[in-house]
Chain A
Amino acid sequence: MAEPRSTRQLEQDPALPPVAAPEPRRGWTPPKVLLWVAIALLGGVAWTMLAIVRGETVNAIWFVFAACCSYLIGYRFYSKVIERFITRPDDRRATPAESKADGKDYVPTDRRVLFGHHFAAIAGAGPLVGPVLAAQMGFLPGTIWIVVGVIFAGAVQDYVVLFFSMRRGGRSLGQMARDELGRIGGTAAILATLLIMIIIVAILALVVVNALGESPWGVFSVSMTIPIAIFMGLYLRFIRPGRITEVSVIGFVLLMAAIIAGGWVAETDWGAAMFTLDRTTIAWGIIVYGFVAAVLPVWLLLAPRDYLSTFMKIGVIVMLAGAIVVVRPEIEVPAFSEFAGGELGPVFSGSLFPFLFVTIACGALSGFHALIASGTTPKLVEKEKQTRFIGYGGMLMESFVAIMALVAAISLDRGIYFAMNSSAAATGGTVEGAVAFVSSLGLTGVEVSAELLQTTADNVGEESIVSRTGGAPTLALGLAHIMQQLIGGTAMMGFWYHFAIMFEALFILTAVDAGTRVARFMLQDSIGNVAPRFKDTGWRPGVWITTAIMVAGWGAILIMGVTDPLGGINTLFPLFGIANQLLAAIALAVCLAIAAKRGVRSWLWVVAVPLAFASVVTITASMFKIFSPVPAVGYWANHVAFRDALAAGETTFGTATSVEAMEAVVRNTLVQGTLSIVFVSLAIVVIVAALITTVRALRGRAAPEAEDAPQPSRRFAPAGLIATAEERVIQREWDARGPREPRGGH
């Protein structure tokens, strides 16, 4: 491919050592070949154990090997293909962090530190919840989608969005859509993003509500995170500004104390009376909290809780990975369960295709990441070539988190799994009901006794574990189950369970707060086009009004989910996945248009294939949700069924036991069905706009891409985690020059 004209200006300053390393000599030395053959063999053996051998049980360690070996191969080979043919980074070119350096927003940051930053920003509760629900279909479909999906779709999206945004000074996805696709495509992309944020925040909040309902221990310890975070905020502001590690350690110790204290408080009469709250009350609590947290200054609550959440995130993930490798639980879940072939599983409804692919969104392909990859991260990248390590590598890491969540969920007894994850409408919320329901599923070898359910609940310090839907309690139980084999035995299970609930709640509350803020900011910007006053983000009434609108949006969906007679999470979670994947399709569509404008031709499929897959999955899933005649699957089919029943004068129908409940179903399905139609229409507008732009670019008739003008770089840093021999030579030359240019991080 011809070198673009603009790069001719990138003459390097002859007084400086090289700013870009030469391509490593293409030496496939025997040890290197041997290493990659070994990785490929180990991965192959692991996949064979999972997919073909399938004895009575399979050891969890094979999941770790299959995933890690596949990631290594994907990173070493496939991401290199993307680098060579799609992104084509040029280290002679200054990144925005270098050319616009201001010491605040644009700061060249050490690649390893930025990797940590970026990972902490993309990984949240999503990859922990989706795989748990998807375990209903057996372990294999989920595992394949998480690993293959990330290599060919999720990590590609994150990497390419990060790179293109970096070439545009860190512009957001919405702005890139407007610049590259024109007004209609751009506006649809921004509107879709806004709506998708609302649904994602609502459903994450629903997960927390489900985890905390009727759990005095959980409510107490999670509520304590608020005073702890405020204390940390005050400490950082007035006592020791900037001592973030120090205050995080203090916060962590307080957090552990809150978990232990929660066990005592829940035992007392006053504690149980005060903190046993029903789910509707908790939902209102989160709505009020969400509004207050989003209008409070960042330093008081959001920033300190974010430090705590990052601290926990990295700690717990390392701990869980270690525990799985050491404990190596035996998995009894079949590769494909009895529900893989149908569409009426109790955990989520819908057939494997397309619903497995939307149930596991984060971990395989998450559109939300495109907002992060076009936010803070591109403004901090030190050298262009590092985007592969940060964007592609960061997403592989998140995928690994999803695999661990899956392993934790499938290491549980299947009877317990279905008792926990079937809606209260099915189990009646009682132990006896759950026992009867699980045996009515007719799964071979799957039975659960009332005793087992009660003992397990007692072990984790909960009143009951029946119908604790939403994924978080199941993951917490799985984590407790694995960790207690390592530390503490059953006596510690309550602690580990609530430790996991706490850590998921921390992520989600941070996401609720930050999501509300970002959505409010986008809304301010949009309203600002009509009423310019709203563009002033320092104008408090504007902040309050737009925050209230956003909170009302997700709050309404949250209340709807909590009070839904059909069970809430199993009807709403697909909407979450569809929304997230539609955002991914939008992001990939924008990237396709940009790649075509950059002159990519025969390798365009690298972006086009995941785009096509995401589009087919989400549009099909939306069509099922809109048009399926099966009431459990189609929102409108359900809507019509309940409306007709009401019209016929019936007072109970399906799982709804009163006229009010039936009216609630009619109302909820109307909202859900309408949202499905709006989402899919907006996404189709963006995809079509991007395809038109792409075709015009292929015919050489599109406007040129809106990349910033190149400026020569005057600094050097290695591209990957480990510096190559060539890079080390250059690095030594730079080090010999004395103090380096300022850099964030170390």
Chain B
Amino acid sequence: MGRAGSAVVAALRRAVRGFGAVLGEGAYPAYVAHHRAAHPGVPPLDERTFWRERYRSQDLEPGGRCC
């Protein structure tokens, strides 16, 4: 194990995170980062509210899925 083992673990962790990102998991951190940079001093939405808003806007303007 040792160094090679931890390299494998790190690579696996990156793969899982990448997979999560493809599923859209990174949306909240990206929003918070954007919010901090663009509107410093204004607290960003909490995670629960953010996801509710996100799904609501998808209801109002649906995105496509292909055949």
> Is there contact, CB below 8 Å, between A244 and B63?
no
A310 contacts B by Cβ under 8 Å: yes
Bound form: Cα–Cα A514–B64 in Å: 6
Q: Which chain B residue shows the least CB distance to A296?
A: B59
Question: Which B residues are CB-close (under 8 A) to A102?
Answer: 34
- In the complex with contacts A241-B48, A244-B23, A744-B30, A113-B63 CB distance below 8 A: no
A742 contacts B by Cβ under 8 Å: yes
Bound form: Cα–Cα A537–B58 in Å: 11
- In the complex with contacts A125-B67, A248-B23, A742-B33, A112-B18 CB distance below 8 A: yes
B27 contacts A by Cβ under 8 Å: yes
> Is there contact, CB below 8 Å, between A121 and B31?
no
> Is there contact, CB below 8 Å, between B33 and A372?
no
Looking at the assembled complex, report how far the CB atom of A627 sits from the nearest CB atom of chain B, in whole angstroms: 28
Looking at the assembled complex, report how far the CB atom of A393 sits from the nearest CB atom of chain B, in whole angstroms: 15
Looking at the assembled complex, report how far the CB atom of A240 sits from the nearest CB atom of chain B, in whole angstroms: 9
- In the complex with contacts A112-B18, A242-B47, A515-B52 CB distance below 8 A: no
Bound form: Cα–Cα A371–B66 in Å: 9
> Is there contact, CB below 8 Å, between B65 and A742?
no
> Is there contact, CB below 8 Å, between A126 and B30?
no
Within 8 Å by CB of B66, from A121, A307, A521, lies A121
> Is there contact, CB below 8 Å, between A362 and B21?
no
For A114-156 the 0/1 string (1 means CB < 8 A from B) is 0011001111111000000000000000000000000000000
For B15-47 the 0/1 string (1 means CB < 8 A from A) is 011111111111110111111111000000001
Q: Which chain A residue shows the least CB distance to B46?
A: A241
Within 8 Å by CB of A311, from B23, B31, B54, lies B23
> Is there contact, CB below 8 Å, between B62 and A521?
yes
Within 8 Å by CB of B34, from A310, A742, A746, lies A742
> Is there contact, CB below 8 Å, between B19 and A517?
no
Range for the number of chain B residues in contact with chain A: 35 or more
B60 contacts A by Cβ under 8 Å: yes
Bound form: Cα–Cα A242–B35 in Å: 18
Bound form: Cα–Cα A6–B53 in Å: 37
Bound form: Cα–Cα A518–B59 in Å: 10
> Is there contact, CB below 8 Å, between A299 and B30?
no
> Is there contact, CB below 8 Å, between B23 and A307?
yes
Question: Which B residues are CB-close (under 8 A) to A742?
Answer: 30, 33-34, 36-37
For A567-602 the 0/1 string (1 means CB < 8 A from B) is 000000000000010000000000000000000000
B57 contacts A by Cβ under 8 Å: yes
Bound form: Cα–Cα A242–B32 in Å: 13
A623 contacts B by Cβ under 8 Å: no
Question: Which A residues are CB-close (under 8 A) to B34?
Answer: 101-103, 107, 742
Bound form: Cα–Cα A247–B16 in Å: 13
Within 8 Å by CB of A103, from B38, B51, B59, B64, lies B38
> Is there contact, CB below 8 Å, between A245 and B67?
no
Question: Which B residues are CB-close (under 8 A) to A122?
Answer: 66
Looking at the assembled complex, report how far the CB atom of A257 sits from the nearest CB atom of chain B, in whole angstroms: 21
> Is there contact, CB below 8 Å, between B38 and A113?
no
- In the complex with contacts A126-B67, A248-B23, A368-B66, A104-B61 CB distance below 8 A: no
> Is there contact, CB below 8 Å, between A244 and B20?
yes
> Is there contact, CB below 8 Å, between B62 and A517?
yes
Bound form: Cα–Cα A297–B62 in Å: 11
Question: Which A residues are CB-close (under 8 A) to B17?
Answer: 746
- In the complex with contacts A103-B35, A362-B67, A744-B27 CB distance below 8 A: yes
> Is there contact, CB below 8 Å, between A237 and B35?
no
Question: Which A residues are CB-close (under 8 A) to B25?
Answer: 242-245
A741 contacts B by Cβ under 8 Å: yes
Bound form: Cα–Cα A120–B38 in Å: 31
Question: Which A residues are CB-close (under 8 A) to B36?
Answer: 742
Question: Which A residues are CB-close (under 8 A) to B67?
Answer: 124-126, 200, 204, 362, 366, 368, 511, 580
> Is there contact, CB below 8 Å, between B66 and A366?
yes
For A491-530 the 0/1 string (1 means CB < 8 A from B) is 0000000000000000000110111011011000000000
- In the complex with contacts A120-B22, A124-B65, A537-B60, A299-B37 CB distance below 8 A: no
- In the complex with contacts A104-B31, A303-B55, A245-B18 CB distance below 8 A: no
Looking at the assembled complex, report how far the CB atom of B45 sits from the nearest CB atom of chain A, in whole angstroms: 10
Question: Which A residues are CB-close (under 8 A) to B20?
Answer: 244-245
Bound form: Cα–Cα A56–B58 in Å: 54
Bound form: Cα–Cα A518–B48 in Å: 26
Looking at the assembled complex, report how far the CB atom of A704 sits from the nearest CB atom of chain B, in whole angstroms: 29
Bound form: Cα–Cα A306–B27 in Å: 16
A165 contacts B by Cβ under 8 Å: no
A743 contacts B by Cβ under 8 Å: yes
A745 contacts B by Cβ under 8 Å: yes
B interface residues with partner A (beta carbon < 8 Å): 16-28, 30-38, 47-48, 50-67
Kindly list 15 other residue pairs between chains A and B, CB separation below 8 angstroms, not including A104-B54, A121-B63, A369-B66.
A101-B38, A103-B33, A104-B57, A107-B30, A107-B34, A241-B51, A242-B25, A242-B50, A245-B16, A298-B55, A310-B23, A514-B64, A537-B60, A741-B37, A742-B36
User: What 10 A-B pairs have minimum CB-CB distances, sorted nearest first?
Assistant: A742-B33, A103-B34, A116-B22, A517-B62, A126-B67, A514-B65, A744-B30, A245-B20, A299-B55, A103-B31
